[in-house]
């Protein structure tokens, strides 16, 4: 396991892959010292095509911690600190995650999350610490100039965005109350 230097709470988890002539085996998650106090209540699977950018998504009132795994393909995964009392509030961190390395990224509650697909297709599984809550769902525009995320956009590949992500509010227009007691 290695901690990211920029935002200490976002953790890149390196795992071993066990390969032989039949294929390979990975442990995606394990109740060890890192996640012993957490309870994952929802697991999501997302399949996206090259050039897809999803995010930046978060929930107010019922924030989700996410353990992100790439099953097939390669993505650039981003977390933005939304915790107003944090010394890294408003900062972002990005990690390349891919099938071959079998790394995972832990994004704690209180962060916005997004990713960009670099491979022809990517399958992502993310385990969540809180259920999805549509009334609490929020988004920040992916290309917000205040955040200045350095997305590794591919040349000659059209950007694929949902209407929700394309029309998300900017950082300065967003509400960040991600406290569980907010409601």
Instruction: Just list the catalytic residues.
Output: 57, 126
- DSSP code per residue over 30-95: --STTTTT----EEEEEEEETTBEEEEEEESSS---EEEEEEESEEEEEEEE--TTSTTTT-EEEE
Under a CB-based contact definition with an 8 Å cutoff, are residues 53 and 165 in contact? Answer: yes
Instruction: Using alpha carbons only, give the angle 119, 123, 125 rounded to the nearest 5 degrees.
Output: 140
122 by DSSP, 3-state: which? strand
Non-local CB neighbours of 53 within 8 Å, separated by 6+ positions:
114, 115, 116, 117, 142, 151, 159, 160, 161, 165
């Amino acid at each position: 396991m290695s901690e990211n230097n920029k935002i200490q709470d976002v953790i890149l988890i390196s795992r071993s892959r066990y390969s032989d002539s039949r294929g390979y085996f990975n442990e995606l998650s394990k109740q060890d010292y890192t996640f012993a106090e957490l309870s994952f209540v929802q697991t999501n699977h997302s399949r996206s095509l090259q050039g897809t950018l999803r995010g930046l998504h978060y929930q107010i009132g019922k924030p989700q911690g996410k353990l992100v795994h790439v099953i097939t393909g390669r993505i650039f995964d981003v977390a933005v600190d939304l915790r107003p009392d944090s010394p890294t509030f408003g900062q972002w961190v990005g990690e390349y995650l891919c099938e071959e390395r079998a790394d995972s990224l832990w994004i704690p509650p209180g962060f916005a999350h997004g990713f960009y697909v670099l491979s022809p297709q990517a399958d992502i599984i993310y385990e969540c610490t809180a259920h999805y809550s549509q009334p609490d769902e929020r988004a920040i525009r992916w290309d917000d100039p205040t955040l200045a995320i350095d997305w590794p956009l591919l040349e000659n590949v059209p950007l694929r965005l949902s209407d929700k992500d394309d029309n998300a509010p900017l950082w300065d227009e967003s509400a960040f109350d991600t406290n569980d007691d907010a409601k």
